[in-house]
Structure 1
């Protein structure tokens, strides 16, 4: 069954602006924003707490099971910092957001992240871990890296994704 609306994965290191971008694109396009972190908490799609990384340990299989029907319908903006466990067939576009390291550090500090968690995430950004993960997991032509350090870049990204979603047509 062909989707009537696209599915877009928005990924990137925590603090790169994924949720803000998704909220803005959802409000202009009518696509549904699926924030995986919130779904994991609300639907208990995890296997407990990881003290070392100060986060829930998601159960990737449960997450995929919970999203299967929604992604089959289309019209989803999936928002998560990891991406390699989602099936490639779900997405028409994969966007990796990147942020200047100083800006990222400040954003994570404002969230109250521990120094270790900030350092780990900034290191991840420096090493392009999420870009590599997306490039290894999805077709090259659907993966796009966008900068997300300034309000102007965020506005450009919202406009770019809104235009893309409006012009999307299902493949035959």
Structure 2
């Protein structure tokens, strides 16, 4: 089974993916490392630009029929049996990205993306089986417990459980309203 773990930067994808793969006995795959190893991605400044169509093709070829957890904020765009979209209160996303030294513009883009469900919407458009999980106030082990509980009970689709519209006032200072 291919499980893709996606979400806005800062929501806990890597930590959760590593624990999940360990608990399931699945191979862990970083989408970023895979793309670079296959020559699908290239470093441009501090970022990696990835050809998503080529990434999707390569993931399908490489991991079809294998048990893997694929970690990365583009993983919802590759072939997977189930996509887990991790969500986190946008203010916590801002604080985590700020502590990682993200430039103001990139921080604002990611806070806005979490606020308005960008990754979730893309995941739903690309995949039949999407499970949304709110990580706010939970330890990584609690998040993995929730994911495993949902998977073991046969849940294939659970979306619409998170609504950050009420949190706008909490994050307005992180947004870049009116442009640069």
CA distance in 2, matches of 1:26, 1:73: 16
Matching residue within 150, 154, 160 for 2:146? 160
Partner of residue 149, structure 1: 136
Aligned CA RMSD, in angstroms, stands at 2.2
Q: Tell me the TM-score normalised to structure 1 length.
A: 0.78
Distance 1:30 1:10, change over 3 A: same
* Residue 60 of structure 1 pairs with residue 52 of structure 2: yes
Q: Tell me the TM-score normalised to structure 2 length.
A: 0.75
Matching residue within 85, 88, 95 for 1:106? 95
CA distance in 2, matches of 1:131, 1:167: 22
* Residue 115 of structure 1 pairs with residue 107 of structure 2: no
CA distance in 2, matches of 1:109, 1:164: 32
Q: Which fold has the larger relative contact order, with Cα–Cα distance below 8 Å and residues 6 or more apart in sequence?
A: 1
SS in 1 for 2:49: strand
Q: Is the 8 A contact 1:12 1:97 kept in 2?
A: yes
* Residue 11 of structure 1 pairs with residue 6 of structure 2: yes
Partner of residue 18, structure 2: 23
Write out the 4+ residue segments of structure 1 that deviate beyond 6 Å after TM superposition.
none
TM-aligned CA deviation for residue 41 of structure 1:
2.9
CA distance in 1, matches of 2:87, 2:150: 19
Q: Is the 8 A contact 1:83 1:134 kept in 2?
A: no
**Number of corresponding residues:** 154
Partner of residue 79, structure 1: 71
SS in 2 for 1:16: coil
Q: Is the 8 A contact 1:11 1:94 kept in 2?
A: yes
Structure 2, unmatched stretches of 5+, are 155-180
Q: Is the 8 A contact 1:29 1:166 kept in 2?
A: no
Partner of residue 3, structure 1: none
